[in-house]
Structure 1
Amino acid sequence: MVNLSIIYYSATGNVHAMAETAEREAGDWGADVRLRRAEELAPDAAIDSNEAWRANVEATKHIPTASLDDLEWADAILFGTPTRYGLPTAQLKQFIDTTGPLWQAGKLINKVVGAFTSSQTSHGGQESTIIALNNTFYHWGCIIVPLGYTDPMMFEAELGNPYGASHAGVNGPVGEKTRIEVALQVKRLLGVTDAYKKGAAQA
């Protein structure tokens, strides 16, 4: 059994839709999955200024907020975030900034990790957002597993981001092609994690 934590932040719902897809695909694969959201930090005035943002906040209240236990428990971790000026959101970063005790205790070493993102446009900072998250994973001592061009479908239009599954909001809500990309990433992440766990057990 592979333990997978999916930890994400979503404002208007696109990253949430990707996270739900990841949860479903991981469950079908046979993983034990925890879906967790980063706590909202924005004031109500900002949230209420965007109808989709408020709707997503209300629709996802039932999802538990991420905790350090979710990281320690996991064999693999998949992070999701919208891009903000080419960087992860403050909400996800705030959670990451609480991980010092786990990092200092060496409890994040060799976790298998990946990331996915959404931006308004296809060149709106998707790659730099995932690379920025990778900087944290280097410090943790994780095993970073990119999506890569690991399936022929990755050469099709609207897929093809080897860094991690990505969605462009200008194309509308998360659709089938994005879900395919998420599914490919989840299967690769879990496959590598499974192989690593088996190899480590035999070492």
Structure 2
Amino acid sequence: MLGPPIRRAARRRPVDGLGLPLSTHAEAASAYRNGLDRVLKVRAGAEDAFARAVALDPGFALGHAALALLGHECGAAVDVPRTLADAQRCARERADERERSFAEVITRRVQSAVGHRALIRHLDTHPADALALAAGATGKSGDGGDHMPPASTSTSTSTPNASARPGGDTAGYGDHVGKPGENK
């Protein structure tokens, strides 16, 4: 008499910091999450973390795409064309739809003037993709022009409304704005 079929436990894929699945193993996913966290917090070390992720898993498309993004948009010391080629190859071999889409977005941002359109389409489909959201905030559109100065080049140390004075026409931080006609 045969017993019930033996079922293998389904392996859960590791996830990024927002719970999106990653096509890699746990150790490379941990390095990727570290890099993503550093990008989102604008901290040094993201390049090293993403490089560690792809060293641990050379077939990790999202890790390669993240490195290419940092090389192209942040000036990281990365061979962008080679890293993009690795991202595309790995995306074809082993990636889910979101990861393939992100690799394509980065390729378009590097190679064409319509990269911003690909990013918008990607975010329409994958609005929780934190790295794609960060890519949209870098200020580069893929046309070679900066459309927003990087935060690190700011020479101002004041708050956005530092010139606002209590009782003035512009509300500053902590000022009471109130309803029209109400005394300030």
TM-score (norm 2): 0.29
Q: Greater relative contact order (Cα 8 A, min sep 6): structure 1 or 2?
A: 1
Higher strand share: 1
TM-score (norm 1): 0.27
